[in-house]
């Protein structure tokens, strides 16, 4: 006879829907980003002078480093 423990059964019943929900969320998020052409690389900046890494969400013609206040060049993609 096969015996089941209640704790293992409960953990399995809670884990399967959680993994399914996370998987579907990741699938639809990646699909939407691919359709919209969105990339986090366009916001990711590093100052060549002080090597400070930051996200630049403001679209400026000439970005400014928040730490050393130097003017940077925006990479042409």
The pLDDT value given to residue 16: 94
The pLDDT value given to residue 76: 43
Residues 33 and 44 in one domain: no
Q: Per the structure, how many domains does the chain have?
A: 2
3-state helix, strand, coil in the chain (%, to 5): 45, 10, 45
E strands, the chain, are 44-46, 53-55
pLDDT at 77 over 50: no
Residues 57 and 76 in one domain: yes
Q: What's the pLDDT tens digit per position in 6-28?
A: 898 899 899 999 999 999 999 99
| Predicted TM-score (pTM) of this structure | 0.42
Domain limits for position 69: 39-77
Residues 32 and 48 in one domain: no
Q: What's the pLDDT tens digit per position in 22-75?
A: 999 999 988 877 776 655 556 788 899 999 998 877 777 888 899 999 998 876
Residues 55 and 27 in one domain: no
Residues 46 and 17 in one domain: no
Residue with tokens 């940077």: 72
Residues 65 and 47 in one domain: yes
């Amino acid at each position: 006879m096969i015996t089941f423990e209640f704790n293992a059964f409960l953990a399995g019943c809670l884990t399967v829907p959680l993994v399914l929900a996370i998987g579907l969320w990741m699938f639809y998020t990646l699909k939407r980003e691919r359709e919209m052409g969105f990339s986090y690389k366009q916001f990711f900046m590093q100052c060549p002078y002080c090597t400070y890494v930051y996200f630049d969400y403001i679209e400026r013609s000439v970005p400014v480093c928040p730490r050393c206040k130097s003017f940077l060049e925006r990479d042409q993609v």
